[in-house]
């Protein structure tokens, strides 16, 4: 049986989200005076997890994202404008074009074999599309299914038979 379609997630499947996230958080935390980066990462990770749980339960995404840094920094004893820091961080994520090793070769081989390539990913549509284009992977894919577009903000799990 020949494979006709392949659906790929972006983050940590094709693109190195963890590297971009780490670099972005390091820049933000350094800029705003976090002296203990490990504590800063741990605090942010806890708050970020709570924010995404609330979003997945149907609460307003933008309002919550605009508070994650102010909440995390408050716990670190630093006052920031959450929306401003969120915009700075989002810009950093939008320009995270790091590809995982072997991605171009894999996608090229699949496309050459006639496999229809699709993206199925969660996250913010604008960020994901900008990352696809900036990484040079956009031309491999025929269509995109992004959680923000389809009204489902949690992990997308797809199984093809």
Beta strand 5-8 pairing with 116-121:
parallel
Token couple for 82: 């959450």
Distance of CA 107 to the CA centre of its chain: 20
Judge whether 9 counts as a catalytic residue. Answer: yes
Distance of CA 95 to the CA centre of its chain: 11
**CA distance linking residue 76 with residue 87, whole number of Å:** 20
**CA distance linking residue 58 with residue 56, whole number of Å:** 5
Contacts 24+ apart (CB under 8 A), 66-70: 68/44, 69/28, 69/44
Catalytic residue among 9, 11, 16, 94: 9
**CA distance linking residue 136 with residue 98, whole number of Å:** 10
Contacts 24+ apart (CB under 8 A), 60-67: 61/148, 61/153
Catalytic positions are: 9
């Amino acid at each position: 049986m020949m494979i006709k379609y392949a659906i790929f997630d972006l983050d940590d499947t094709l693109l190195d989200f963890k590297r971009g996230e780490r670099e972005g958080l390091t820049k933000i935390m350094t800029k705003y005076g976090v002296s203990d980066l490990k504590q800063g990462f741990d605090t942010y990770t806890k708050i970020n997890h709570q924010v995404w749980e609330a979003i997945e339960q149907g609460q307003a995404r933008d309002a919550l994202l605009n508070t994650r840094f102010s909440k995390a920094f408050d716990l670190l004893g630093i006052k920031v404008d959450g929306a401003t820091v969120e915009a700075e961080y989002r810009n950093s994520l939008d320009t995270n074009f790091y590809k995982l090793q072997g991605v171009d070769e894999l996608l090229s081989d699949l496309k050459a074999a006639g496999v229809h390539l699709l993206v199925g990913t969660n996250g913010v549509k604008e960020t994901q599309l900008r990352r696809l284009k900036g990484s040079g992977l956009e031309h491999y894919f025929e269509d995109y299914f992004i959680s923000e577009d389809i009204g489902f903000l949690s992990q997308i799990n797809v199984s093809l038979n």
